[in-house]
A = this chain, B = another copy of it.
Amino acid sequence: MVKKAKYSASVLVIGDEILSGRTQDTNSNYIAKKMAEIGIDTSEIRVIPDIKEVIIESVNELREKNDYLFTTGGIGPTHDDITAESIALAFGVKIELNESAFSVLKKYYEEIGSPFNEVRQRMARIPVGATLIENPVSKAPGFKIENVFVFAGIPKIMIAMLENSLEFLHKGSIVHSQSVKVDAVEGDIADTLSLMDSEDSDLRIGSYPFFNSKVDFGVNVVIKSVDKDKLSKSVNKFKEFLNKNSLNFD
C-alpha cells in the first residue's frame, strides 16, 4: 500500500443477535474510537445477519471501498459461526485446518481439561494465505487476509485481537479535536458554524445537540483539524462569538 495522509476503514458486524436487538453492539464503537486515535477514518459500519451470501457480498464490497475492513462475530464453533468459511469464499481461497491454530487450541483444551472435539477443531479452520491474530482469552485465533481483519464478537476477545492487529495498519495524520459545550439550542449557533465550516476546508465542525430535560439541554460543538494551530484559532473565534452573544459555554 502506498503511504497516504489518510486511510479509511469499515466495520462489518456479523450477527443475528445484534439485528434482533438482543445484544447492543459496542465493538464498532470501540474500533471507530481506536481508528480515530491513529488517524484512520471509519467510513461505514454495517450490521448483517449470519447468512453466507450476505457476508460474502458485504465483505467484497467493503474491502474494495476501504483501506481496511474489520469484521466481528461468527468465528466460534457452532452451526451459526460461518464467518471464516464465508471469508474464504469471498477471497476465492480454500479453508483448511491451520496447524498453528490447531496446536494452540489443542494445548489450551488439554490445559483446561476439556475435550478438543470435532466442533472445537472447526475453530482451527482458516482461509489459506491468512495470517493468524492471537486470542489471549480463549485461544481460538482471528486472522488477517489482505486488508480484511477477522475478529471474534465477544468484546473482550475483539479488543485483544484489535490490539494485536495495530502493527499491520498504516497510521494516518492525527486529527485533533476540541469540543465546546454550549448552553443554547442549535438554532442559536447554526449560522456561525456554517460560516466557520465554509471558510476553511481543513476544519470539520460537528454540532451535537442533547436534550436531557426541559432545563438541561444544549449543543456539543466538536471542531476537528489535522492542523493544531488552525484548530485552536477556530475554537477561540467560536468562543468570542459565544461571549459576544452572551451564550454560556464550558
| Interface of A toward B, CB cutoff 8 Å | 13, 16-26, 28-36, 41-49, 76-80, 114-115, 117-120, 137-138, 154, 156-157, 185-191, 193-194, 197-198, 204-211, 222
Can you list 11 residue pairs at the A/B interface with Cβ under 8 Å? Answer: A13-B45, A17-B222, A20-B33, A21-B30, A22-B206, A46-B47, A79-B198, A80-B205, A80-B206, A138-B185, A138-B211
Closest to A210 in B: B154
CA distance A43 to B115 in the complex (A): 36
Complex Cα spacing A55 to B19, Å: 21
Known contacts A76-B186, A138-B211, A154-B209; is-contact A36 B17 (Cβ 8 Å): no
Minimum C-beta distance from A215 to chain B (A): 12
Shortest Cβ gap from A21 to chain B (Å): 3
In contact, A186 and B78 (Cβ under 8 angstroms): yes
**Across the interface, do A190 and B77 meet the contact criterion of CB distance under 8 Å?**
yes
Contacts of A193 in B (CB 8 A): 78-79
Partner of A44, one of B46, B186, B206: B46
A46 and B49 form a contact (CB under 8 A): no
Looking at chain A's contact residues, the main secondary structure is mixed
Instruction: Report the separation of the CA atoms of residues A222 and B80 in the bound assembly, to the nearest whole angstrom.
Output: 12
Residues of B with C-beta under 8 A to A18: 29, 32, 45
Please determine whether A46 and B46 come into contact, CB atoms closer than 8 angstroms. yes
Instruction: Please give me the residue from chain B that is nearest to A213 by CB atom.
Output: B156
Tell me whether A194 and B79 are in contact (CB under 8 A): yes
Shortest A41–chain B CB gap in Å is 8
B46 contacts A197, C-beta separation under 8 Å: no
CB of A101, distance to nearest CB on chain B (Å): 14
Q: Are B206 and A17 in contact (CB under 8 A)?
A: yes
Q: Do B19 and A80 have beta carbons less than 8 Å apart? A: no
Given pairs A21-B29, A79-B205, A114-B185, 11 additional interface contacts (CB within 8 A): A20-B36, A21-B30, A21-B32, A22-B33, A44-B48, A78-B194, A80-B205, A117-B191, A119-B186, A138-B185, A157-B211
Q: Are B24 and A26 in contact (CB under 8 A)?
A: yes
